[in-house]
Amino acid sequence: MSRMPRVPLAVLLLVAAAAATELAPALRISSPHAVEWILTVALVAILFEGGMHIGLSRLRPALGAVLSAGLLGTILTVAAGALLLRAFGLSWFAALLVATAVAPTDPAVVFSVLGKQKIAGHSSTILEGESGANDPVGIALMVSLLSAGAVTAHAAGEVAGEFALQMAVGVAVGAVGGRVLVELTRRRLPVIVAPLCTMAAAAAAFALATLAHGSGFLAVFIAGILFGDESLGHRGTVRRIHRGLASLGEIVAFVVLGLTVHLGVLAHRSVWLPGIVLAVVVAGAARPILVGLCLIPARLARNELAFVLFAGLKGAVPLLLGQMIVGKHVADAPRLYGIVVIVVIFSILVQGTLTPTAATRLKLGRRGPLS
């Protein structure tokens, strides 16, 4: 007997928080910068735990696919989304901002809706690795676009240069930070001290990369990957603590983001219509086609490829990027943020609800701990 699909917790938290602000407007968070700070802390915890969960030995066989989908696939998806949004009257700059915001995926949401289903094959590695890569890629691209402030030939060069710098610095700091963390934790640290050291190292990697004008989020993810294979005396305790911090970060992120949403804005036709169309096109055509092309060299089994392309859910990062648009006071920012919110809600509610069924139908899901 088939079970009824579960509504993902993330969308319930987001909608509940948004509804609460309608009943008690004083709850609404009106400072985009405060939201960015809170979400930054949450994403550092999520990305570091995600890197730890993957580990270098597990990532190495899928590295080419992860880089291709996470970098090239994200950029191609942004281009396709921007072209679509131009049909709704958005300027090229606004269209690129919204398309960049909705491009990153969030497997943390995927595996939270899968419950205790374990995903067979390389699907989970590619999904997690792609998200770990395209979250920093999307954030770096958004920062570069907002710094340029326009779409011109000169601005395109600035965006490319800033983006390349952020990626290079993020990789370098993450690699060094990961090695330092490995050497540090090879000492026999007390059970209370070990998790504090890893948390401090993640924060330091983010801070150093950011101060050097790099991607702090990429640095944190890479440090987590390099640390993921390390055998610790208190390995289980450290992993459980970081898993708990990541779960808490995901909950906090969606509650806080829900407190920024104006349901009245979402009800406007100029917001919900392009949002739904963009969500459908990205999920049903743009991502499957463009990321699918990027994954051809990986030679995945058909059922694994189908699951990777279907389960690219949107999560907290697109909403963070939407808040960055609001924080920079871009023209028509409330509408642009509203479109991003609609895309995220549609993705989590529709794709998220169907993801466990898709895993079962594709013969990839089975009961047990997640891989």
Question: 186 falls in which pLDDT band (50, 70, 90)?
Answer: confident
Alpha carbon 107 to its chain's center: 7
> What is the distance between the alpha carbons of residues 241 and 193, in angstroms, rounded to a whole number?
12
Residue 308 tokens, joined: 């990777």
The amino acid at 193: V
Among the residue ranges 234-248, 294-308, 313-327, 338-352, the one predicted with the least confidence is: 234-248
Q: Where are the alpha helices (DSSP H) in the chain?
A: 9-23, 32-54, 56-59, 63-67, 74-86, 92-102, 107-113, 123-148, 153-185, 193-211, 216-228, 235-258, 263-266, 269-281, 287-294, 302-310, 316-327, 333-346, 352-361
For residue range 51-99, list pLDDT tens digits in order.
888 888 889 988 999 999 999 999 999 999 999 999 999 999 999 999 9
Residue 117, H or E segment: strand 117-119
Q: Does domain 9-114+121-361 have CATH number 3.40.50.300?
A: no
Question: How many C-beta atoms lie closer than 10 Å to residue 19's C-beta?
Answer: 13
Among the residue ranges 37-41, 147-151, 304-308, the one predicted with the least confidence is: 147-151
> What is the distance between the alpha carbons of residues 346 and 276, in angstroms, rounded to a whole number?
7
> What is the distance between the alpha carbons of residues 41 and 46, in angstroms, rounded to a whole number?
9
Question: How many C-beta atoms lie closer than 10 Å to residue 349's C-beta?
Answer: 18
> What is the distance between the alpha carbons of residues 290 and 204, in angstroms, rounded to a whole number?
35
For residue range 113-138, list pLDDT tens digits in order.
765 566 777 788 888 889 888 999 99
What is the pLDDT of the chain when averaged over all its residues? 87
Determine the average pLDDT of the residues in 5-30: 86
pLDDT number for residue 370? 46
Residue ranges per structural domain of the chain = 9-114+121-361
- pLDDT greater at residue 337 or residue 133: 337
Kindly report the CA angle at 137 between 203 and 337, in degrees rounded to 5? 95
Give the burial string for 153-192 (b: 16+ CB within 10 Å, else e). eebeebbeebbebbbebbbbbbbbbbebbbeebeeebeee
pLDDT number for residue 11? 83
Q: Which residue, among 163, 149, 153, has the nearest Cα to 71 in the 3D structure?
A: 163
Per the CB < 8 A criterion, the answer to whether 108 and 311 are in contact is: no
| Residues 6+ positions from 150 with CB-CB distance below 8 Å | 93
DSSP assignment letter at 366: E
Residue 367, H or E segment: strand 365-367
Per the CB < 8 A criterion, the answer to whether 79 and 108 are in contact is: no
Question: How many C-beta atoms lie closer than 10 Å to residue 302's C-beta?
Answer: 8
Per the CB < 8 A criterion, the answer to whether 10 and 348 are in contact is: yes
User: What does each C-alpha distance from 151 to 55, 113, 146, 337 come to in angstroms?
Assistant: 38, 38, 10, 19
Determine the average pLDDT of the residues in 257-283: 94
| pLDDT tops 80 at residue 112 | no
DSSP assignment letter at 25: G
